[in-house]
Amino acid sequence: MIQYVTLLSLIVAFLLLLGVIFALQRVAKTRPDGGVVGESGFTLEGYSYALILLAVVAAVGICYVLVRDTLWAGHLMEWMNIVVRLMHITFGIAWIGASFYFVFLENALNRTDNVRDELAGNLWAVHGGGFYYLEKYKLAPKQIPKSLHWFKYEAYFTWLSGFSLLFVVYYFNASSMLVDPRVLDISPLAGVGIGVGSFIAGWLIYDGLCRTELVRSKWFMVVGFAVATAFAYFYAEIFSARAAYIHFGAMLGTLMVGNVFFTIIPAQKAMVKAATEGTPLDPTLGKNALARSLHNNYMTLPVLFVMVSNHFPSTFSHAYPWAILAVITLGTAGVKHWLNLREKHQSNAWVLPGSVALLLAVVFVTAPKAETGTAAAACTEEIPMSRVNMIVQTRCVQCHSSSPTDDVFKSPPNGVVYDSPEDIIRLKDKIMQRVVVTKTMPQNNKTDMTQEERDILKCWIEQGAKNL
């Protein structure tokens, strides 16, 4: 019954969505100017798109509540995961692509050769079989053009879809994905509250710092990095390591979108308004917006790293995940700095090697350690398959079997199933990586696997993973 209700509500949500999109297209077609000019960026379209997204998120949320604890739950979660992730990546590419492009423009502008008085510079480019000529104004053109393109929805939707993904992956399953009792035994709801609250706190602290004189000095980077590291430490003390990583990235991502929403777009609106009304333009507005946009530029690579690292336990399984995060933030931001310098034709010999050295240091520090006494001791005799199978059957199949008994995972995670000894042998390399090296399985050690058992698995794999 419940499945049909869910299906029905999904269909209704989808039809609603189609209806709104159609209506919007009609509105767009019948508008005489066709573009967003002057006044605000808050157009009918803007509001409606945001509404659509919220409606979809709400519909999905309702569906989730409906299928909770049924056979459909795992299936729906996977599809939500796929769809929301795809949206997040697509919007993110559009946003960061445009952002990289404009920072490149700024860096590569020809500012001296044949530049008219009112211009800051220009740039010739060839792309997609066509020649382009762009000009940047020092302040604003004498007359604001009728159709002016704004870049903002990419940013907003990246954040909204990212925030939704945080719910799909971490918050809906907070007890198993977010909270790790070995780190801190908090209730799932408290975990979600701390996570969401930390984004607000992060923004308030960062925005506060940006309003001080510090923002004009080089020390801002140092203080900003220290604050970011403090956040990494805080997350690592509260959440499971993997969740700590994604929260660090999501917090930085929130600052980036906050910069667009609260500073850059309002500054641009004020500039357009002043230019339209012919009132004098406050040059600090543009400067502030440019500074924030540069901060965003430096945060991009660390955020991308965090998103990718979530799929690689060797990055977050270190004993001090916050330190790894801090060093990687420094290294990746350093690479971006080098790229920026290069675009400005300012070569700097040590920035790239320094950044790469930092990143290599992480590879080195996170490498598995040589064995301890017990591991060596377990290896003196040949380990029979029956012993290995027994360990896996007591510690893993709660989740990794064709019919899991775990309270959260109703279908085998990532399709990994250990129903037979052959399954175990086939997946031995992954077992080595997740159980022995990174110790990220069993998830949050929910099934209380002992170190001795890990040593036995290791030994068995090193002896050739034979089916004795």
In the complex, the smallest distance separating the C-beta of residue 66 from ligand HEC, rounded to whole angstroms, is 23
Euclidean distance between CA atoms 80 and 296, whole angstroms: 28
**Is 172 a residue that touches ligand HEC (CB under 6 A)?**
no
**Is 395 a residue that touches ligand HEC (CB under 6 A)?**
yes
Q: Which of 399, 417, 461, 465 binds ligand HEC (CB under 6 A)?
A: 399
Kindly indicate which of the ranges 15-23, 198-206, 372-380, 423-431 contains the residues binding ligand HEC, using the contact rule CB under 6 A: 423-431
Q: Which of 243, 446, 455, 456 binds ligand HEC (CB under 6 A)?
A: 446
Residue 417 and residue 409 in contact, taking contact as beta carbons nearer than 8 Å: no
Kindly indicate which of the ranges 67-75, 91-99, 334-342, 389-397 contains the residues binding ligand HEC, using the contact rule CB under 6 A: 389-397
In the complex, the smallest distance separating the C-beta of residue 390 from ligand HEC, rounded to whole angstroms, is 12
Q: Which of 295, 336, 400, 410 binds ligand HEC (CB under 6 A)?
A: 400
Euclidean distance between CA atoms 154 and 53, whole angstroms: 13
In the complex, the smallest distance separating the C-beta of residue 6 from ligand HEC, rounded to whole angstroms, is 23
Euclidean distance between CA atoms 228 and 235, whole angstroms: 11
Of residues 297, 286, 280, the one with CA closest to residue 264: 286
Q: Which amino acid is at 436?
A: V
Euclidean distance between CA atoms 114 and 133, whole angstroms: 13
Q: Number of residues in contact with ligand HEC, rule: CB under 6 A?
A: 22
In the complex, the smallest distance separating the C-beta of residue 158 from ligand HEC, rounded to whole angstroms, is 24
7 versus 427: smaller Cβ distance to ligand HEC:
427
**Is 414 a residue that touches ligand HEC (CB under 6 A)?**
yes
355 versus 438: smaller Cβ distance to ligand HEC:
438
136 versus 439: smaller Cβ distance to ligand HEC:
439
Kindly indicate which of the ranges 195-203, 204-212, 257-265, 445-453 contains the residues binding ligand HEC, using the contact rule CB under 6 A: 445-453
Tokens describing residue 162? 């990212």
Euclidean distance between CA atoms 155 and 186, whole angstroms: 32
Residue 413 and residue 397 in contact, taking contact as beta carbons nearer than 8 Å: no
**Is 224 a residue that touches ligand HEC (CB under 6 A)?**
no
Euclidean distance between CA atoms 274 and 269, whole angstroms: 9
Q: Which long-range contacts (CB under 8 A, 24 or more apart) does 340-348 make?
A: 340/103, 340/107, 340/297, 343/103, 343/104, 343/107, 343/108, 344/107, 344/108
Q: Which of 166, 272, 275, 396 binds ligand HEC (CB under 6 A)?
A: 396
Count the alpha carbons within 13 Å of 169 in the hemisphere toward its beta carbon. Answer: 19
Residue nearest to ligand HEC (CB): 396
160 versus 325: smaller Cβ distance to ligand HEC:
325
Euclidean distance between CA atoms 228 and 252, whole angstroms: 8
Tokens describing residue 82? 């796929």
Tokens describing residue 422? 């052959």
Number of neighbouring beta carbons within 10 Å of residue 22: 10
In the complex, the smallest distance separating the C-beta of residue 317 from ligand HEC, rounded to whole angstroms, is 10
Euclidean distance between CA atoms 400 and 126, whole angstroms: 53
59 versus 427: smaller Cβ distance to ligand HEC:
427
Q: Which of 122, 276, 411, 447 binds ligand HEC (CB under 6 A)?
A: 447
Count the alpha carbons within 13 Å of 219 in the hemisphere toward its beta carbon. Answer: 5
Residue 310 and residue 246 in contact, taking contact as beta carbons nearer than 8 Å: yes
Binding to ligand HEC by CB under 6 A, coded x per residue (else -) over 424-443, reads ---x--xx--xx-----xxx
Binding to ligand HEC by CB under 6 A, coded x per residue (else -) over 339-378, reads ----------------------------------------
In the complex, the smallest distance separating the C-beta of residue 446 from ligand HEC, rounded to whole angstroms, is 4
Residue 337 and residue 298 in contact, taking contact as beta carbons nearer than 8 Å: yes
**Is 41 a residue that touches ligand HEC (CB under 6 A)?**
no
434 versus 458: smaller Cβ distance to ligand HEC:
434
**Is 413 a residue that touches ligand HEC (CB under 6 A)?**
yes
Euclidean distance between CA atoms 265 and 293, whole angstroms: 11
Which residues form the interface with ligand HEC (CB under 6 A)?
A: 392, 395-396, 398-400, 406, 409, 413-414, 416, 427, 430-431, 434-435, 441-443, 446-447, 449
